[in-house]
């Protein structure tokens, strides 16, 4: 199932993307389930709501049908309860290119490197990313597979990990390299407004039997900058879930970005950065394309 969140006539709705159009269950006046307006509730109650969602898809009621062009996409889960957890240097070629940019030799990290992006940086498919040249001069792209947690858990083992996954989406871990460098830390440079586009929707895990065999790519103005496969991750999804949940409880709706492959702007020769009007498309096979344009902001 492809589930997301959109604005329609000024209101926020959960949608189901059925391939030809969207269905907005919340438009049914006789079925005002809270989950139809709040992805966090839908994720937490998914097992219970799944038969109802399947029935809505089967019925394909024209009263719930909306054209893609008539909505504004929000992030699929626009207001998670905690920061987006992110893996750093989780593809070997990216670890190497990052080290080379500082004249060092890159090797795979021994343990997963984990940082977070602020909830306030989350934005949706087709959103314009505010670019403030007074604050940032080195805006960079990072396509990533994001995992959405479906169930509360602590000390989750590798073997149990996928039981705790709800689904997957595409995430662009936009990064202000100069802020990152100047402040010696990931958080500030990766949490500016608009730094975390996600979407267009979450694909539930039943439709992605192997999340480690997906093509992953990023295009800037139509030119391929990153092209890899999610099978190349150093720490796979079970390892990531096992590591994080060893010390903290994971909750339904938590989001984990699994790291970016090589081809980012700062490691190119010469380095390349995003500028106003650039269009960034992040694509993961089996999920979809997340598209954003860079805009100017004060």
Q: Rounded CA gap, 213 and 232, in Å? A: 9
Of 230, 221, 228, 227, which is closest to residue 281 (Cα–Cα)? 221
Q: Which residue's CB is nearer to Mg ion, number 142 or number 283?
A: 142
Q: Which residues pair with 221 in a beta bridge?
A: none
Rounded Cα–Cα distance for residues 216 and 285 (Å): 7
Q: And the tokens for 37?
A: 């307006």
The region of 14-22, 132-140, 145-153, 252-260 touching Mg ion under the rule CB under 5 A is 252-260
Cα–Cα dist 234/261, whole Å: 10
> With respect to Mg ion, which residue has the nearer C-beta, 142 or 242?
142
d(CA 258, CA 143): 10
Question: Which segment (11-19, 45-53, 222-230, 255-263) binds Mg ion by CB under 5 A?
Answer: 255-263
CB-count burial class (<10 Å; 0-12, 13-18, 19+) for 269: exposed
E strands in 9-142: 11-17, 22-23, 65-66, 72-73, 84-88, 113-117, 122-123, 128-131, 139-140
Question: Any contact of residue 17 with Mg ion (CB under 5 A)?
Answer: no
Segment interacting with Mg ion, rule: CB under 5 A, options 11-19, 116-124, 179-187, 257-265: 257-265
Nearest-angstrom CA–CA distance, 51 and 155: 30
Question: How far apart are alpha carbons 94 and 97 in whole angstroms?
Answer: 5
Please select the residue that binds Mg ion; options are 17, 38, 97, 142, rule is CB under 5 A.
142
Binding mask 259-288 for Mg ion (x = CB under 5 A): -x----------------------------
Whichever of 204 and 260 has its CB closer to Mg ion, that residue is 260
Residues 178-237 that bind Mg ion (CB under 5 A): none
CB of 173 to Mg ion, least distance (A): 3
Report, in Å, the least distance between residue 70 CB and Mg ion. Answer: 33
Q: Which is nearer to Mg ion, 173 or 254 (CB)?
A: 173
Which residue do the tokens 């505010």 mark?
130
Eight-class DSSP state of 108: -
Q: Would you say 138 or 142 has its CB closer to Mg ion? A: 142
| Residue whose CB is nearest to Mg ion in the complex, by number | 173
Residue 116 near Mg ion by CB under 5 A: no
Closest distance of CB 196 from Mg ion, Å: 10
Q: How many residues bind Mg ion (CB under 5 A)?
A: 3
CB of 197 to Mg ion, least distance (A): 13
Interface pattern 144-183 for Mg ion (x via CB under 5 A): -----------------------------x----------
Measured in residues, the chain has a length of 298
By C-alpha distance, which of 34, 273, 279, 256 is closest to 150? 256
Would you tell me which residues interact with Mg ion (CB under 5 A)?
142, 173, 260
């Amino acid at each position: 199932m492809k589930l997301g969140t959109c604005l329609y006539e000024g209101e926020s709705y959960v949608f189901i993307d059925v391939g030809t159009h969207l269905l907005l269950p919340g438009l049914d006046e006789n079925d005002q389930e809270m989950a139809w307006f709040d992805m966090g509730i839908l994720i937490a109650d998914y097992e219970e709501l799944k038969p109802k969602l399947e029935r809505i898809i089967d019925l394909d009621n024209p009263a719930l049908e909306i054209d893609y062009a008539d909505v504004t996409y929000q992030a699929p889960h626009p207001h998670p309860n905690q920061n987006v957890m992110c893996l750093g240097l989780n593809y070997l070629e990216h670890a190497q290119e990052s080290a080379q940019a500082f004249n060092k030799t890159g090797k795979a990290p021994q343990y997963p490197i984990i940082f977070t992006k602020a909830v306030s940086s989350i934005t949706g498919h087709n959103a314009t990313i505010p670019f403030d040249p007074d604050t940032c001069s080195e805006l960079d792209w990072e396509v990533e597979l994001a995992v959405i947690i479906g169930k509360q858990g602590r000390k989750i083992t590798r073997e149990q990990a996928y039981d705790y996954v709800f689904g997957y989406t595409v995430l662009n871990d936009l990064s202000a390299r100069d802020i990152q460098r100047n402040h010696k830390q990931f958080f500030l440079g990766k949490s500016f407004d608009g730094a975390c586009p996600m979407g267009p929707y979450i694909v539930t895990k039943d439709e992605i039997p192997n999340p480690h065999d997906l093509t992953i790519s990023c295009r800037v103005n139509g030119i391929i900058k990153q092209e890899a496969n999610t099978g190349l991750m150093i720490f796979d999804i079970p390892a990531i879930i096992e590591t994080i949940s060893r010390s903290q409880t994971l909750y339904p709706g938590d989001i984990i970005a699994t790291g970016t492959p090589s081809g980012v702007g700062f490691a190119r020769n010469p380095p390349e950065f995003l500028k106003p009007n650039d269009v960034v498309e992040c694509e993961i096979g089996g999920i979809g394309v997340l598209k954003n344009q860079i805009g100017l902001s004060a």
